[in-house]
Structure 1
Amino acid sequence: MGSILQRKLAFSLLFLITVVFSCCKVNSKCEFKAIFNFGDSNSDTGGFWAAFPAQSGPWGMTYFKKPAGRASDGRLIIDFLAESLGMPFLSPYLQSIGSDFRHGTNFATLASTALLPKTSLFVSGISPFSLAIQLNQMKHFKVKVDESHSSGPPGLPILPSNDVFRKSLYTFYIGQNDFTSNLASIGVDGVKQDIPQVIGQIAGTIKEIYGIGGRTFLVLNLAPVGCYPAILTGYNHTVSDLDKFGCLIPVNKAVEYYNALLKKSLSDTRTELKNATIIYLDTHKILLDLFQHPKSYGLKHGIKACCGYGGHPYNFDQKLFCGNSKLIGNASMTAKACRDPHNYVSWDGIHTTEAANHRISMAILNGSISDPPFTLSYLCPS
């Protein structure tokens, strides 16, 4: 009786192993080998702070329990995407210590723009690492990978294989700083004049990456920045400019104009690059819904920042950013973080919380905000 039971158990175990290995073999065909990300602080995993080390708490408090080079309390959308593909978090291209580039790298840095800055570097808080610079970094990275595999012995263990570039996901989350950096000074109409150039730069970058082997591209559109506390407190407006949710109507209409042009440009680029997969991700749609109906997503606060100073309704002051201290009147004041960032959409008035990023990521992964309408699993390279 015991031997029969043992045989049944052995057969069951063998069957289970066969199923598991068969499953994994099939799924392995659908795995991207790497992610290469281009962007600004919305997807920077530490590039800016690697170049200019200074970040302190309360950044990273939710997930990392310490500052981790991210403009949030925790994980970003790019972190969730990497996790969903079974990859580690992306190492910043600018981080020289402890980086592992076998699964790609992150060229994004805080305050980056799609267009080259019109003024001197760092004027108005703009980073020197524009999209054109990030593209050049990508090209340099590819040259180094190719060289490491053509010089005899295998390349350094921190570098990917040289066939990785056709089997990677290229993600873009950039354009917000082009839109917002001059908004207060030149207004909505002035900002709109540059939008075609911004979008042209993004489309042109996709074409150049296609030329060096890239085939699958995800492009996140512009967020409803008219709901951001930083814009609500920094852009001159009247009560009539606000919608019933407290967001700036003229600013968000300009955002819609931007996103419509971006979607059209990506469609045209898709037609031009016949065997490329170019996906427009309408993250604006779900983020706007998060701001308008936070309770529908299990959150409590929409346009109020978690980390800031200034009280109701925005908890944001243009002169005192998250984590900083300043003498106001006769007292030293600090922009402190709330104790429950999981209840907020806005982390610091400029960036989103991990809670919001997670919900946006879920929408990306299930394909509900993709155009063409594909889930991420359908975008696997052959």
Structure 2
Amino acid sequence: MDSARLCRCVFGLMVVGLVGLPQVVLGGRRCNFPAIYNFGDSNSDTGGISAAFAALHPPNGETFFGHPSGRYCDGRLIIDFIAEELKLPLLSAYLDSVGTNFRHGANFATGGSSILPGGYSPFHLGIQMSQFIQFKSRISALYTQLSPSAGTTPPFKSFLPRPKDFSNALYTIDIGQNDLSYGFQHTTIEQVRLSIPNILSQFFQAVHQLYKEGARVFWVHNTGPIGCLPYTVIYGRSKPGNLDQNGCVKPQNEVAQEFNRQLKERVFQLRADLPGAAFTYVDVYSAKYALISSAKNEGFVDPFEFCCGSFYGYHIDCGKKAIINGTVYGNPCHNPSMHISWDGIHYSESANLWIANRILNGSFSDPPVSIGETCFLYQ
């Protein structure tokens, strides 16, 4: 019997609908997911964009991996802490052709990706869906066509998933930030706000595609406080009244909050449309904003100081240096663990860990279940 059915048959689940929010009695039980399939942007990219285009430079990866790992971070991302919490290996990027192991899932997220086509990256959510569908189809064909000889096991079985694992896996989605960011750069705040329904219609269709492919347990992150990214603050603080009480760019955060409000409505609609699936909506925005609001009390430096690269006067990407008029730009900081922001756009490992510790237990989730209990919602 598969793990999801074992969870619901043996341990049971009591769900009472209250204004669209189920109350869940779980009794401390945990699920065993055989795999994770992730879709997203650089917030959860474990090497996709690096493999597709150009490898990241040191000091990316220095804190945990000791070398660049394809992550826009000094170490691990939230998706890495999700895998660790579920006792699974860290996810290999689907686009990485060297040293990959997809036995326990695959990561289709790539840096710069958006839900809609266009923007910063060609690997929008529709492409990621197509990659997943092709991946699943080829796995199924391989298992069908290549049967093991007597007494032997095909070598591919050690690094590819089993067909039955797709319906028992956890599907994580963290995307949408770049749709807003690209819009802020190329249109107006109001135009970005008006584009939200169209963006989320594409998201809605993608989830329906995954459901048709057998996905049943979904963990959906909303978008973070874009207006609190140091990059955004540097370019947005000059306008009077543009910052909130914590120094974040207020108009951009308001659009992010509206995006999240409509995303949550879409997730509720998905629950109604796909009653055979389980959807957990995770309020990453609130977790990140809480960290930024209490940075110094949590042992971090000013949340708008970042560790690697430069946007002050000259734009120097993390991992590069430049000397301009005798000033060196791009030297990394000495203690990344004290910084919330790694490179002005992406979070540091220590910040990712702080956030993961607060979202994985269900404190910021609807319904309020931990990630290790989400299969109980699968009826």
Instruction: Please state which band the TM-score falls in when normalised by the shorter chain.
Output: 0.7 to 0.9
Aligned counterpart, 1:269: 270
Aligned mate of 1:319, from 296, 301, 315: 315
Residues in 2 aligned to 1:190 and 1:380: alpha-carbon distance in whole angstroms: 38
Aligned counterpart, 2:127: 133
Identity of aligned residues (%): 39
Tell me the CA shift for residue 153 of structure 1: 1.6
Q: Secondary structure at the match of 2:303?
A: strand
**Deviations 1:210-242 (CA, angstroms, capped at 9, x unpaired):** 111000111111110101111112347423111
**Deviations 1:133-163 (CA, angstroms, capped at 9, x unpaired):** 0000000011111011111425612111110
Q: Secondary structure at the match of 2:328?
A: strand
With over 3 angstroms needed to count, the CA separation of the structure-2 counterparts of 1:29 and 1:305, relative to structure 1, is closer
- Contact 2:92 2:107 survives alignment (8 Å): yes
Residues in 2 aligned to 1:51 and 1:252: alpha-carbon distance in whole angstroms: 31
Query: Structure 2: which amino acid aligns with 1:91?
Result: S
Q: Secondary structure at the match of 1:181?
A: helix
Task: Compare 275-284 and 319-328 and name the one that shifted more.
Answer: 319-328
Aligned counterpart, 1:145: 139
Query: Structure 2: which amino acid aligns with 1:70?
Result: R
Q: Check if 1:379 corresponds to 2:348.
A: no
Tell me the CA shift for residue 34 of structure 1: 0.3
Query: Structure 2: which amino acid aligns with 1:377?
Result: G
Query: Structure 1: which amino acid aligns with 2:351?
Result: A
Aligned counterpart, 2:360: 365
Query: Structure 2: which amino acid aligns with 1:369?
Result: F
Query: Structure 2: which amino acid aligns with 1:322?
Result: C
Q: Secondary structure at the match of 1:336?
A: coil
Q: Secondary structure at the match of 1:115?
A: coil
With over 3 angstroms needed to count, the CA separation of the structure-2 counterparts of 1:292 and 1:28, relative to structure 1, is closer
Residues in 1 aligned to 2:234 and 2:300: alpha-carbon distance in whole angstroms: 23
Aligned counterpart, 2:198: 197
Residues in 1 aligned to 2:29 and 2:268: alpha-carbon distance in whole angstroms: 29
Aligned counterpart, 2:10: none
- Contact 1:91 1:100 survives alignment (8 Å): yes
Residues in 2 aligned to 1:377 and 1:38: alpha-carbon distance in whole angstroms: 19
With over 3 angstroms needed to count, the CA separation of the structure-2 counterparts of 1:140 and 1:317, relative to structure 1, is farther
Q: Secondary structure at the match of 1:305?
A: coil
Count of aligned residue pairs for this structure pair = 344
TM-score by length of 2: 0.86
Tell me the CA shift for residue 250 of structure 1: 1.0
Tell me the CA shift for residue 377 of structure 1: 2.4
Matches within 5 A, 1:346-361: 346-361=341-356
TM-score by length of 1: 0.86
- Contact 1:301 1:343 survives alignment (8 Å): no
With over 3 angstroms needed to count, the CA separation of the structure-2 counterparts of 1:318 and 1:31, relative to structure 1, is farther
Aligned counterpart, 1:260: 261
Aligned counterpart, 1:19: none
More helix by share: 1
- Structure 1 residue runs without a partner (length 5+): 1-26, 119-125, 311-315
Aligned counterpart, 2:290: 289
Tell me the CA shift for residue 334 of structure 1: 3.0
Aligned counterpart, 1:7: none
Q: Which structure would you say has the larger Rg?
A: 1
Residues in 2 aligned to 1:152 and 1:300: alpha-carbon distance in whole angstroms: 56
Query: Structure 1: which amino acid aligns with 2:94?
Result: Y
Tell me the CA shift for residue 325 of structure 1: 2.4
Residues in 1 aligned to 2:29 and 2:243: alpha-carbon distance in whole angstroms: 49
Query: Structure 2: which amino acid aligns with 1:366?
Result: N
Tell me which of the two structures has the higher relative contact order, counting C-alpha pairs closer than 8 angstroms and 6 or more residues apart: 2
- Structure 2 residue runs without a partner (length 5+): 1-27, 149-153
Matches within 5 A, 1:328-339: 328=324, 330-331=325-326, 333-339=328-334
Tell me the CA shift for residue 298 of structure 1: 2.9
